[in-house]
Structure 1
Amino acid sequence: MSELIEAVRAGRTAEVVGLLDGMTDAERRAQSPGLKALRKELRSARWDAASRRAYPALHAAGAACQTGAAAAASWITAADMRWSGLSPAVLLHVLGDRDAEWLADVAHRIADRPASAWVPYELMAGLVRLSGCPVPTTDAYVRGWVQHMGGTWPRGDTILDRLRGDAYLTDLVAALFETHDIGNALEWGAGDGPNSWSDALARLTVEGALDRAATVDACVARLLRGGTTADQRAFLRVLRSLALTREEQRERVADWSALASDAASVVASHAQSVLGSLALDSELTYRQLAEVSEAVLFRTERKLVRAQLVLLGKVLARDPAAADELLPAAAQAFEHEDADVRERALKLMERHVKKVRSAEVRTGLALAAERLGPALRARAVATLGAAPVDATATVYEEVLPPVPRPARLAPAPSSVTELAEEVGAAMAADAGVTGFERALDGLVRHAYGNREDLLEALEPVVARRWWADPRYLGADRRYGDLRHGMLEAADALDLVLATLCEKTRTDTLHSGLQQGAPTRNCVHAALSRAFEARVWEVAYRIRTEPLPLLLSTPTWSTGLLEPDELVTRLDTYRRMGARVGAADFAQALLRVRREDRSVAEAAARRASALGTAEGTRLARWLTAGKPLPPVVRRRTSGPRILAESGEVLELQEDFPASFRALGRPVSAFGESRYCYHWSNALRAQWPAMVPERRELLAVRLLRDLSGLAVDDTRGTASVLPLLAESGGEAGEATHLGVAYGLGARHPEDRLAAVDALPVLAARGQLDASRLGADLGQLVRRGAVKPTRLAESLRTAAATGANATIWGLLSHALPVLLADLATDGPTGPIRGLGDLLAVAAECAEQSGARGELPHLACTADRRGASRLVREARRLRGALMPVEVAA
């Protein structure tokens, strides 16, 4: 062993540097093979004490002994060297004797690495300084520069002081405006004060260190490109710090118009204020103001739209000649989703319509007013000449989505190559019920009759699994010792693959089959135990007595299994003399379709004729009648309304122990709080386990679903569309789950609930009075925020389900208005006006009529708050036509 290698292995970095300093280039190159061999050796035990001690010295020695710039850059930035802890100063020292061109090449190569490579900025900057090369303006270099300049320095100087002394200031600032997602780094630790980036860049333009025109152009262009919220906020702060002159603002009217039309709200608001100032100083033409107004009034942000209407009113009050140009633009607001905006636009028309000179413009305004709702349109008849509403001309028709049709599962792949591809895809990403079931059935079928070819085809898939790496599983350990059960569906396929590859012990498989993985008594335990039992059985039978096929593979994507298909599979087992798996058969019984009694009874006769115990059991199951839902009762806990269920005796008889827990009572509070069932991919499998027993699943998921609204958790609502497409009664637990989803914190969860709502309605399974009352109580208890609920319901109504949403709100609002009518101690619920606005819109669109309890008390309150205005609007919409007249 050479002296250098010995010093590296011992971790004596100072000695290594001294040895390198005394070597010629040829001697350094001669050490490279030994260093590479040592690196390979250390990789296998990267985190032990000897490796951690050796890596800093290895990092320095390997970099110094590389001949080519590419090899040196690769060594320096390698993933295994990333956390070596070696100081950049040491690397600069050992590389400092190379020629400038070589150093420049290395500098640019390591600067080209992604920022995730965590190359120290001090190293990149040091190489640039040593070589004298042009500064790199890559993403990694600019990010490193920003963090270095904005960091806390021991001298206590400011960002401005540091930037003044930077020789590459102009190039790096220009690159800064081109760097994506840099806003957080610009804002971190600096804020708006004198030590901020925005203040420093503004002062450098004043001092002349930066060209002002180029900086302003770059900043505006950066805002026009869009980007993350942090980027928009940071570069807007820079733009404001530059304090543009009126001349600079006039030069960029087109840019302000584009930003006001399409930029993020905070940027659009700034652009709108600049344009408003120009307009009020007569530095915008009417045509320019009209064009930007049409775009801004199309936006959803009420604050921006109201500000634009106010601006139009000011311009029209000052110059009546602008009416012909500006009022048609203001008419765009007649189609805004917010009723208050529509009313403000109508008031603007009423105030200034007499100033219009063109008959053609008047006609256009009258036609535009026909897009208003009934109440506002009645006002427009008198002021704008709009045609009156003809109550007999149109009849509202509810638009609900077609009832979803489940997809039939294709047979398992007949080719082992195709099966291997599907297994790999199912493990790499969430393949849902269809992908998982096809992969599992295919593995079972080919393991029975084509095992050697299957193993060969699976080699590329297996090679990527962690348990195939000997560093993780040594000779004394085997995959399958699952301490927490299967965390996601891919774990089930992992167990089957590991069994095929002889990576599991038979006693482990037997233990899993008999007892399952240890699990806490969480509310999901019954579902996870039943899911896992079938997989453990498949793995054990592959080792001991392979199954020819799975009885429980569903026919449809919802998990339903056709009775005739199950009878045919049982007949195949009978003819082959194969022994049926208990868990596989139990899952098949839970999936077999029983709601169609004629089909079930015909299949039962065929099953009885098989003459097998399983055939007789299936016949008895099919003739037992439709599945009965569990008895569900409500319980409350803080702001939550939860549910618990009683025993389902049908699932306690003639089922394996691993499935009986599905029929046991479910408590809302008794289960352990410690739960590992975090994976939404795993939850997506559960509806397909009990496809005709929706409430059995919903009651076990209800606490998770409540967390979407109460605890601001994320993701659980993805199961709601699956529940909506399932079979069985949609009862208390299902409706409560949808209610929590509609009030979820995160938009994607609210959209999942919105997707589920019209599906239940289209299938005739939505109880509007029950869901409405639930929503009212949840809002009243503080579990659901009205603003979130209003957004969800507005989205659902926009699909054409106005009558459905009105049906919900007609039962939710009385609960909330009752407290207001009695002057409860808490006062009006914040956001109640938003719910009333959605209700008024739905009532107007659907033609709903009648009285809403306690609405009159709210509408008669003094003042003009949003709550009172929307209550009056809703009362006007619900009044019969003859009374309104």
Structure 2
Amino acid sequence: MSSLMDAVRAGRTAEVVGLLDELTDAERRPLFAELKALRKELRAAPWDADSRRAYPPLYVAGVACQTGAAAVAAWIAAADMRWSRTSPALLLRILGDRDPKWLADVTQRLAQRPVGSGVPYELMAGLVRLSGCPVPTTDAYVRGWLGHIGATWRREDTVLGRLRQDPYLPQLVAALFETDDIGGLLGWLAGDGPNSWFGALTQLAAEGALDRGAMVDACVSRLLRGGSAADHRAFLHLLKDLSLTADEQRERTADWLALASDGVSSVASHAQSVLGALALEGELTTCKLAEMSDAVLFRPEKKLVRAQLVLLGKVLARDAFAAQELLPVVAQAFRHEDSDVQERALKLVERHLKKVKGTEVPAELALAAEELIPGLQARAAHTLGNVPRTEPPVTYEEILPPAPQPARLTPAPVSATEVAEEVGAAMESEPGVAGFERALDGLVRHAYQDRDALLEALAPVLARRWWNEPENGYRTETRFGRTDFAVSDADDGLDLLLATLRGRVHLGTLHAFVQHGSTARECVHSPLARAFEARLWEVAHRMQTDPLPFLLSTPTWSTGLLEPDELVDRLDEYRRLGARVAAADFAQALLRVRREDRAAAAQAARRAAALGTREGSRLARWLTHQGPGLPADRRRTAGERILLECGELPELQEDFPVEFRPLGRPVSVYRERWHCYHWSDDIRQHWLALLPERRELVALRMLRDLSSVAVDDDRGAAGCLPQLAESGGAAGEAVHLCLAYGLGARHPEDRLAAVDALLTLAARGQLDAARLGADLGQLVRRGAVKPLRLAESARTAAATGANATIWGMLRHTLPVLLAELATNDSGASARGLGDLLAVAAECAERSGARGELPHLAQTAQRRGSSRLVSQARRLRSALALDVAA
């Protein structure tokens, strides 16, 4: 019917509905083929006013002209139909005359669709009413119901009032407890006030509209099942609001025991309080209390463990006969990682030990006391008698993980197909230095050997690149040597080469960059970025004009280091082929070539000089130079930060291309710091590979980035620290400051990367623990690093077996902080210091460290039993222990 299709295309929904009303099902069905064709046409059309206008009537007509339940449900839930904005009431009118069984089928199919399908709840609920079918309890329906009840009422309505009117209330409330990840929505809608879901459900249970016992069982079952943090919060909140009676609590003793043992912290705390109340009322047997305590005392949450010890103390004070069964359980806390918990448990044993005299319990307690820290072992020996040792003490041996070894790059792919596969993989995920350099060298080699075959193999990769869209193109216009495209990371570099191969980059653009260099705004990273970028633009230019047979600068190792003999062999091959050396490629090769091995460098220099080429002579002079030097640096402060500046390094400016010379220029803290576009965290590993024997120069320019993970709570910048530790050259002040900021990072993954770097430097014998510790002390004192974060990093590193290394660091950190505490006795000064002292004390105990620590005695002599004071006393005792003890 042409009039119907004209009305659909014109967007006249009311007219389309009127025309459909005049047709029977048999007359509607043949029209669907034209509607389907129009839908296909609109999918390919631009998203403009015409297509937007046609979608609503097309949506309605498609529903009306199909008779299969599955087809109608698919049409309603289709992704391209979501923009029709057709009201559910209109669809219900269209479908209202269908058979109820058919409507029930459509209802169930729509309800089983994912939530992301966007099927309106009002449509599903209306179909339930029309068909009389059982209410669906699927994820989409229940979430839609929650949103309908909790977010669309009139101002005079309430959640409680709407729920009272719902004919399917019991079924849908029961479904709430079976729906995953519903807690966040349950708590968010209508908030937490008197008109909340929690209050409404509790009131309905009190009125008898809902089965209160079933709700209690469902809440407990849901908590036992586990789930998201939001689910735990929501169902625990509801359970508390239901206010269980003493009988109801007693009936669920087994459930509380399970939740106290394995529940998340908030749920376990509630179960612990319920069981504690039962225990103090005599409703929990000593055997059950011992079972509960055995599980809770092994939990890592110190708050739960301490609360359990308090409960055990109260029960022991009331019931002397319980001591024989409960004191061995208390001794389980002797092995807790927190020394405060160990001390509390020991105090409890000391207080009630007389109740078990004449039994085997004291011997059992003495055996368990072996797990106490050394300072408490001496105290336990005084109380319990000699604490036996199963074996004599042994000399401490530091355990460090083996230093990571760089991986040798495998040869470039031999076929164009393999190159395409590697390039595609590199652009789909971060390939690291090795993957990027292999892909880069493969593109250069095969562009030289057979450009057409390479392009054919790359076709699937090129088809997915944004610049290869016909309507977009890779529009880089040349104007005074400027381009609208910056190579800010490895992906951009590969894109540049691929676009060049595809003919999407103007030769004038490439020539302008090679001649005039980068025109990007300067920042502290610019020297690194310009050197990285220059080689890639030069390679792209040579691909168009004079392809290179291979790259001289491809590293031998994954760190970016290039073996000198390998570079000499490549120069010899260039000489044999008569190939012209690319300036930036050769400059990068010089910066990568190994010079720290002076004997190997001298031997390679003789071979290079014998080549008789200009580049061979330049390489020979470079290899016989005295080796990597470091410019003089000085510290500067900027707010909470400690940063570094450095002077000039002439050897990186002589005989190097213009784009490489800034690498040797001075670094200023306050100059060239704004307008930075280097946001990629992944590029830093490639910067390190620029200067694999001069990591200190790279660290200087990355120092502000690394400081942001601690000072500004940024995420991700510390991910380069392991590569920094594995790189070559001196690990000086900049490297250690970068590491210090990483150890105080806000996010756990950044702190873990810093710990890896610390252990790598220690394993390689390059860690200056005194320097790092002193830096950390100053950074904590200035507020750049928080003691709690540093304590977590130090604890993680010590747990690997590096106790002496961490003590060697903290013994230079703590005096700065303890001195600050002595002169500034504020809460801010002491916050987190107790945790840092705890890690230091544990490391000292394990490593057998002895001696004086400045300002420690003054802290340990303070009154009170705060964590700060108790851990200061513990550390003082550990450092003063007789070595022969």
Scaled by the length of structure 2, what TM-score is found? Answer: 0.94
Q: CA deviation at 1:44?
A: 4.4
Q: Which moved more, 1:645-654 or 1:748-757?
A: 645-654
- After superposition, what is the alpha-carbon deviation per residue over 1:471-493, rounded to whole angstroms, capped at 9, x for unaligned? 44499999x99735234422222
Residue matched to 1:836? 837
Q: CA deviation at 1:401?
A: 1.2
> How many Å separate the matches in 1 of 2:102 and 2:396?
77
> How many Å separate the matches in 2 of 1:236 and 1:719?
42
Residue matched to 2:419? 419
Q: Which moved more, 1:35-44 or 1:158-167?
A: 35-44
Equivalent position SS for 1:680: coil
* Paired letter, 1:453: A
Against the structure 1 CA distance between its residues 526 and 132, is the aligned structure 2 distance closer, same or farther, given a 3 Å change threshold?
A: farther
Q: CA deviation at 1:59?
A: 3.3
Q: CA deviation at 1:238?
A: 1.2
Q: Which moved more, 1:141-150 or 1:635-644?
A: 141-150
1:394 has 2:394 as partner: yes
Q: CA deviation at 1:721?
A: 1.0
Against the structure 1 CA distance between its residues 114 and 761, is the aligned structure 2 distance closer, same or farther, given a 3 Å change threshold?
A: same
Q: Which moved more, 1:537-546 or 1:633-642?
A: 537-546
> How many Å separate the matches in 2 of 1:82 and 1:282?
61
- After superposition, what is the alpha-carbon deviation per residue over 1:406-450, rounded to whole angstroms, capped at 9, x for unaligned? 111222222433333332222222222222222222222222224
* Paired letter, 1:761: A
* Paired letter, 1:59: Y
1:259 has 2:278 as partner: no
* Paired letter, 2:190: A
> How many Å separate the matches in 1 of 2:90 and 2:508?
54
> How many Å separate the matches in 1 of 2:476 and 2:172?
56
Q: Verify the 8 A CA contact 1:708 1:716 in the aligned structure 2.
A: yes
1:768 has 2:769 as partner: yes
Q: CA deviation at 1:358?
A: 7.4
Q: CA deviation at 1:868?
A: 1.6
> How many Å separate the matches in 2 of 1:435 and 1:751?
24
> How many Å separate the matches in 2 of 1:666 and 1:223?
57
> How many Å separate the matches in 1 of 2:396 and 2:87?
74
- After superposition, what is the alpha-carbon deviation per residue over 1:598-627, rounded to whole angstroms, capped at 9, x for unaligned? 111112222222222222222222111321
Residue matched to 1:136? 136
Residue matched to 1:646? 647
Residue matched to 1:559? 560
1:64 has 2:64 as partner: yes
Q: CA deviation at 1:240?
A: 0.9
Q: CA deviation at 1:369?
A: 0.5
Against the structure 1 CA distance between its residues 436 and 34, is the aligned structure 2 distance closer, same or farther, given a 3 Å change threshold?
A: farther
1:2 has 2:21 as partner: no
Residue matched to 2:234? 234
Q: How does 1:86-125 map to 2 (within 5 A)?
A: 86-125=86-125
Against the structure 1 CA distance between its residues 143 and 827, is the aligned structure 2 distance closer, same or farther, given a 3 Å change threshold?
A: closer
Residue matched to 1:158? 158
Residue matched to 1:598? 599
Q: CA deviation at 1:660?
A: 2.0
Q: Which moved more, 1:690-699 or 1:674-683?
A: 674-683
> How many Å separate the matches in 2 of 1:819 and 1:40?
73
Unaligned runs of 5+ in 1: none
Residue matched to 1:167? 167
Against the structure 1 CA distance between its residues 210 and 56, is the aligned structure 2 distance closer, same or farther, given a 3 Å change threshold?
A: same
> How many Å separate the matches in 2 of 1:99 and 1:516?
74
Q: CA deviation at 1:518?
A: 4.8
Q: Verify the 8 A CA contact 1:485 1:518 in the aligned structure 2.
A: no
Q: How does 1:146-225 map to 2 (within 5 A)?
A: 146-225=146-225
Q: CA deviation at 1:793?
A: 0.9
Q: Which moved more, 1:41-50 or 1:864-873?
A: 41-50
Q: Verify the 8 A CA contact 1:369 1:386 in the aligned structure 2.
A: no
Q: Which moved more, 1:312-321 or 1:672-681?
A: 672-681
Q: CA deviation at 1:714?
A: 0.8
Against the structure 1 CA distance between its residues 453 and 855, is the aligned structure 2 distance closer, same or farther, given a 3 Å change threshold?
A: same
- After superposition, what is the alpha-carbon deviation per residue over 1:310-331, rounded to whole angstroms, capped at 9, x for unaligned? 1111111222222232222222
> How many Å separate the matches in 1 of 2:778 and 2:312?
43
Q: How does 1:257-296 map to 2 (within 5 A)?
A: 257-296=257-296
* Coordinate RMSD, CA, aligned: 2.7
Q: CA deviation at 1:185?
A: 1.0
Q: CA deviation at 1:703?
A: 1.2
Q: Which moved more, 1:456-465 or 1:730-739?
A: 456-465
Residue matched to 2:877? 876
Against the structure 1 CA distance between its residues 89 and 532, is the aligned structure 2 distance closer, same or farther, given a 3 Å change threshold?
A: farther
Against the structure 1 CA distance between its residues 118 and 556, is the aligned structure 2 distance closer, same or farther, given a 3 Å change threshold?
A: farther
> How many Å separate the matches in 2 of 1:544 and 1:102?
70
Residue matched to 1:319? 319
- After superposition, what is the alpha-carbon deviation per residue over 1:631-686, rounded to whole angstroms, capped at 9, x for unaligned? 33211111111122222222212222222222222222222433332222223322
Against the structure 1 CA distance between its residues 94 and 678, is the aligned structure 2 distance closer, same or farther, given a 3 Å change threshold?
A: farther
Equivalent position SS for 1:685: helix
1:749 has 2:739 as partner: no
> How many Å separate the matches in 2 of 1:72 and 1:613?
77
Q: Which moved more, 1:168-177 or 1:340-349?
A: 168-177
Q: CA deviation at 1:207?
A: 2.8
Q: CA deviation at 1:304?
A: 0.6
Q: Verify the 8 A CA contact 2:806 2:843 in the aligned structure 1.
A: yes
Identity, % of aligned positions: 70
- After superposition, what is the alpha-carbon deviation per residue over 1:97-143, rounded to whole angstroms, capped at 9, x for unaligned? 44334433333333333323333322333333333333333323222
Equivalent position SS for 1:641: strand
Aligned length: 883
Residue matched to 2:493? 492
Q: Verify the 8 A CA contact 2:608 2:617 in the aligned structure 1.
A: yes
Against the structure 1 CA distance between its residues 529 and 27, is the aligned structure 2 distance closer, same or farther, given a 3 Å change threshold?
A: farther
Residue matched to 1:363? 363
1:627 has 2:628 as partner: yes
Q: Which moved more, 1:331-340 or 1:514-523?
A: 514-523
Equivalent position SS for 2:637: strand
* Paired letter, 2:173: V
Q: Verify the 8 A CA contact 1:820 1:827 in the aligned structure 2.
A: no
Q: Which moved more, 1:514-523 or 1:437-446?
A: 514-523
Residue matched to 2:813? 812
Q: Verify the 8 A CA contact 1:409 1:434 in the aligned structure 2.
A: yes
Scaled by the length of structure 1, what TM-score is found? Answer: 0.94
- After superposition, what is the alpha-carbon deviation per residue over 1:182-240, rounded to whole angstroms, capped at 9, x for unaligned? 22211114343222222222223233333333322222222123222222111110111
Equivalent position SS for 1:803: helix
Residue matched to 2:613? 612
Residue matched to 1:582? 583
Residue matched to 2:55? 55
Q: CA deviation at 1:66?
A: 4.1
Residue matched to 2:305? 305
Against the structure 1 CA distance between its residues 666 and 48, is the aligned structure 2 distance closer, same or farther, given a 3 Å change threshold?
A: farther
> How many Å separate the matches in 2 of 1:112 and 1:845?
59
Q: CA deviation at 1:835?
A: 1.4
Equivalent position SS for 2:634: strand
Q: Verify the 8 A CA contact 2:334 2:371 in the aligned structure 1.
A: yes
* Paired letter, 1:244: L
Q: Which moved more, 1:328-337 or 1:82-91?
A: 82-91
Q: Verify the 8 A CA contact 2:475 2:505 in the aligned structure 1.
A: no
Q: CA deviation at 1:556?
A: 1.4
> How many Å separate the matches in 1 of 2:424 and 2:849?
54
> How many Å separate the matches in 2 of 1:449 and 1:101?
69
1:533 has 2:524 as partner: no
Q: Which moved more, 1:554-563 or 1:20-29?
A: 20-29
Residue matched to 2:846? 845
Against the structure 1 CA distance between its residues 616 and 99, is the aligned structure 2 distance closer, same or farther, given a 3 Å change threshold?
A: farther
Equivalent position SS for 2:645: strand
Q: CA deviation at 1:712?
A: 1.0
Residue matched to 1:543? 544
> How many Å separate the matches in 2 of 1:94 and 1:646?
79
Against the structure 1 CA distance between its residues 628 and 115, is the aligned structure 2 distance closer, same or farther, given a 3 Å change threshold?
A: farther
Q: Verify the 8 A CA contact 1:400 1:761 in the aligned structure 2.
A: yes
> How many Å separate the matches in 2 of 1:861 and 1:821?
11
Q: Which moved more, 1:84-93 or 1:871-880?
A: 84-93
* Paired letter, 1:395: T
